[in-house]
Amino acid sequence: MKNNGKLFRNLLFFILLIAVTFYILLKDQDILQILNIISSVKIQYVLIGIACISIYVICEAINIGRTLKSLNEKSKFIQNIKYALIGFFFSSVTPAASGGQPMQIYYMHKDKIAISNSTLTLLINLSSMQVITITFALISLIFNYNYLNGILITFFIIGILLNLSALILLLIGIFSKKMTKGLINFAIKILKFFKVKNIEEKKEKLEKELAKYQDNADYIKSNKILIAKTLITTLIQFTAYYSITYWTYRALGFSRHNIMEITTMQSVLYATVSGIPSPGAVGVTEGAFIEIFKSVFPQAIMSSAVLLNRGINFYFLVIVSGIITVINHIKCGSNSESEVEQT
């Protein structure tokens, strides 16, 4: 009940952020004009954008499935799609995307996947995302430095440093046996402090999971082909995601800028807002988009461009992933009730 209450509060805050963002975007705009612009977009490019966000989800599912398979875990492709969508939804509605991976681990556990294996899988996937995000953004900055003002440059540096710090912590978590053992001991001390029952039993269970996790981490370290495939898939994933802004640009009838220019600009935007702890970086992303792309989109249709772009690469997927999460939650609840009845 406490977790449900916390999720409900996060959802309310998320909705409030969206409402405030939309108000700021639209308060001085002609709503009918915006609706007319959006209704006249070239639908084929909108569909390509939706295909790109689908590729984003599929690539993450492929990475999850590939790593789980290497750890001798069975998961169907449709399950991996489900895990990717659940991760996106909870990352979107929780501060600093903190809820994504824990909920993925929870639902993987419901599907009989060992916590040690699901944790390692998601750490590898997240590390790959950090590597591609940082590399893509730094290379792109060389060509797009002039689109950033002083404030955005500051946020870009903060975003890169936070992503780099997260990557270092992830790599330590994956490969440092001393660090992971220290974390287990720290967790046990916390449990003792709060006088939790069956401490030794819990410690033994955690140490068994840790031993299994470390054995599998050693296996992953020696499997360079798996790491290479994961990085390549992630590169395709984020290239498709960043390119959505180009398809938005084309949908609105423009063609002066090429796909490479706009894709690299979007990668800089993503890195700039990635350090913001608000759910889904709502509000900040829209503001940074207006600043970075002000020389690409005419001022008269900027609000329409923001709404269409975020509609495709964020809000559409939030709705889809939210529906899948609710359906899966209901299904898991029904299965739990069936198991209780059988016992």
pLDDT above 70 as % of the chain: 80
Q: Is residue 65 part of a domain?
A: yes
Q: How confident is the model over 167-218, as pLDDT tens digits?
A: 887 787 777 767 666 666 666 676 666 566 676 776 676 666 666 667 777 7
Q: Is residue 20 part of a domain?
A: no
d(CA 21, CA 333): 35
Range 44-80 burial, b when 16+ CB lie within 10 A, else e: ebbebbbebbebbbbbbbbbbbbbbebbebebeeebb
The pLDDT of residue 25: 60
Count of structural domains within the chain: 1
The pLDDT of residue 44: 96
pLDDT band at 340 (very low <50, low <70, confident <90, very high): very low
The pLDDT of residue 60: 97
Task: Look at the block and give the residue holding tokens 């690539």.
Answer: 59
The pLDDT of residue 172: 77
Among the listed residues 75, 97, 72, 95, the one whose alpha carbon sits nearest the alpha carbon of residue 87: 97
d(CA 119, CA 227): 16
Residue 294, both tokens: 């002000």
Q: Is the dihedral of CA 157, 160, 166, 168 positive or negative?
A: negative
Cβ contact 273:289 at 8 Å: no
**pLDDT of residue 1 exceeding 60:** no
The pLDDT of residue 343: 45
Give the residue with greater pLDDT, 213 vs 271.
271
d(CA 25, CA 15): 15
pLDDT band at 30 (very low <50, low <70, confident <90, very high): low
Q: How confident is the model over 58-102, as pLDDT tens digits?
A: 999 999 999 999 989 999 999 999 999 999 998 888 877 777 888
**pLDDT of residue 324 exceeding 70:** yes
DSSP string of 54-112, one letter each residue: HHHHHHHHHHHHHHHHHTT----HHHHHHHHHHHHHHHHHSGGGTTHHHHHHHHHHHTT
Give the residue with greater pLDDT, 133 vs 274.
133
DSSP string of 22-46, one letter each residue: HHHHHTTS-HHHHHHHHHTS-HHHH
Q: Is residue 30 part of a domain?
A: no
Tell me how crowded residue 35 is: count the other CB atoms within 10 A of its CB.
12
Between the CA of residue 29 and those of 15, 25, 301, 331, what are the distances in Å? 21, 8, 10, 43
∠ CA(155), CA(262), CA(228), 5° rounding?
80
Average pLDDT, the chain: 83
Between the CA of residue 284 and those of 187, 201, 291, 328, what are the distances in Å? 35, 46, 11, 31
Residue 307 belongs to what domain range?
Answer: 2-10+38-342
d(CA 124, CA 174): 8
Q: How confident is the model over 302-322, as pLDDT tens digits?
A: 988 999 999 999 989 998 998
pLDDT above 90 as % of the chain: 38
Cβ contact 240:259 at 8 Å: no
Q: Is residue 22 part of a domain?
A: no
pLDDT band at 131 (very low <50, low <70, confident <90, very high): very high
pLDDT band at 165 (very low <50, low <70, confident <90, very high): confident
Q: Is residue 24 part of a domain?
A: no
pLDDT band at 24 (very low <50, low <70, confident <90, very high): low
Give the residue with greater pLDDT, 53 vs 209.
53
Q: How confident is the model over 222-258, as pLDDT tens digits?
A: 888 999 999 999 999 999 999 999 999 999 999 999 9
